[in-house]
Amino acid sequence: MEAANAAISGGVSVLEIVVSTPGVFEVLQQLVNEHPTMALGIYPVSAIGGFQYI
């Protein structure tokens, strides 16, 4: 939650939270309540088809 608030305070207008974040739904609900006009979302890392490491 601290990182999200710091990002918002720094001017970030769109915030995406990784679904593996502990308490992700509680964090998202709190952010929606505190910042109702902000674009917020969660991202399921498991949906990524694959990574290529270089």
Question: How many other C-beta atoms can be found within 10 angstroms of the C-beta atom of residue 4?
Answer: 20
pLDDT digits (tens, 9 = 90+) for 13-40: 888 888 888 888 898 899 999 988 888 8
Domain regions of the chain by residue span: 2-47
Q: State the pTM of this model.
A: 0.65
SS3 54: coil
DSSP 6-43: HHHHTT--EEEEETTSTTHHHHHHHHHHH-TTSEEEEE
pLDDT of residue 49 exceeding 70? no
Distance separating alpha carbons of residues 23 and 20, to the nearest angstrom: 8
pLDDT of residue 10 exceeding 90? yes
